[in-house]
Amino acid sequence: MAISEKSNQGLMKAIKRMHTLVESDDLERVRASQENISALLKHRELNYEPFQVGEIPSEWVSVKRSHMRKFVIFYCHGGGYNTGSFHYARSITNKLSSTTSMDVLSFDYRLAPEHPYPSATEDALAVWDYLMHLGYGARDVIVAGDSAGGNLALSLVLKLKEQKRILPRGLILFSPWTDLTGSGKSYETKVDVDPILNREYLDNAIAAYASGQDLKNPLISPLFGNFTGFPPTYIQVGSNELLLSDSLLLKKIWKNTMSQYVLKSTRECGMFSRCHLLKLLMMLWIRLRNLSSISVVSTIGQELSPVRYRRFGKSVCANKFCG
């Protein structure tokens, strides 16, 4: 459902005020503020199980009621590769777990500038291997992430593809940062309306994470990757975002290489959408199993083409959506 312009402006102002609670030029202060806010993000109906993968702090988030255990969500938090944590990501992982009844694994990859590229990708791969060693198959896992975490989710799957390994069942990306070269139009046209990001922040994040690197390296800027054979992917992005073009350009590339993707652009900031996150999570894209054709939704939430679902029986489990 589209929201009114007045409501949209109010939401943007509210998000901006919320963001100023953790906004600072002092990186350590930002990280500490995020952790303080994280203490408020625990939900009484969810279980939180911390653990380590080697030296990588990680966490399982799960519902306390009986729930699905066959499929899991592998979540990569955002934060420009220099802030963020699985604690701070609970604002999303809580909803992922409670709405889908799936267990969610999130982790604290090493952050820049202390640990620049490829540290985050190496950590994501290590946690992926841990999940495989637990007995999950790649087709049991949905990889998700927001902002820089969306970048990391794509980079992980590109790395798995490079290693000729089985890819996950699907991807869910919230406002993914796919192009560190900043080639899209929204980097100029959305400067004044994005409630969270600005070019200075992104430039500093790039300098910390990928200084001296080729920014067109697909593991740094997934936009330049080869997506042939990629799993079904859902992208949600807000039309007010600086990163809007990162999703639109990805869609343009995928249109020629993939048949299974959804791009939903809302008039709200994608990562903080009030209703679309829950709509997305409602059955988590029909568990990524029953989708046979895709809808693309415009920036005002109007459906441009119909969604059709086909329910697969046991005899069709060789189908790529069935695992």
Instruction: Look at residue 134 and give its three-state secondary structure.
Output: coil
pLDDT at residue 131 greater than cutoff 50: yes
Q: Has residue 303 been placed in a domain?
A: no
Residue 296: predicted pLDDT: 31
Mean pLDDT, range 284-303, rounded to an integer: 35
To the question of pTM greater than 0.85 for the whole model, the response is no
Residue that is written with structure tokens 């920036």 in the block: 299
Residue 36: predicted pLDDT: 76
- Is residue 144 within 8 Å of residue 86, measured between CB atoms? no
Q: Which of residues 49 and 275 earns the better pLDDT score?
A: 49
Residue 273: predicted pLDDT: 46
Residues with catalytic annotation? 147, 241
Strand order in the sheet with 72-76: 46-53, 56-63, 103-107, 72-76, 141-146, 170-174, 233-238, 261-266
CATH number of domain containing 126: 3.40.50.1820
Q: Has residue 169 been placed in a domain?
A: yes
Q: Has residue 167 been placed in a domain?
A: yes
Owning domain of residue 256 = 5-288
- Domains in the chain: how many in total? 1
Residue 283: other Cβ atoms inside 10 A = 13
- Find out whether the peptide bond into 176 is cis, omega within 30 degrees of 0: no
Q: Has residue 179 been placed in a domain?
A: yes
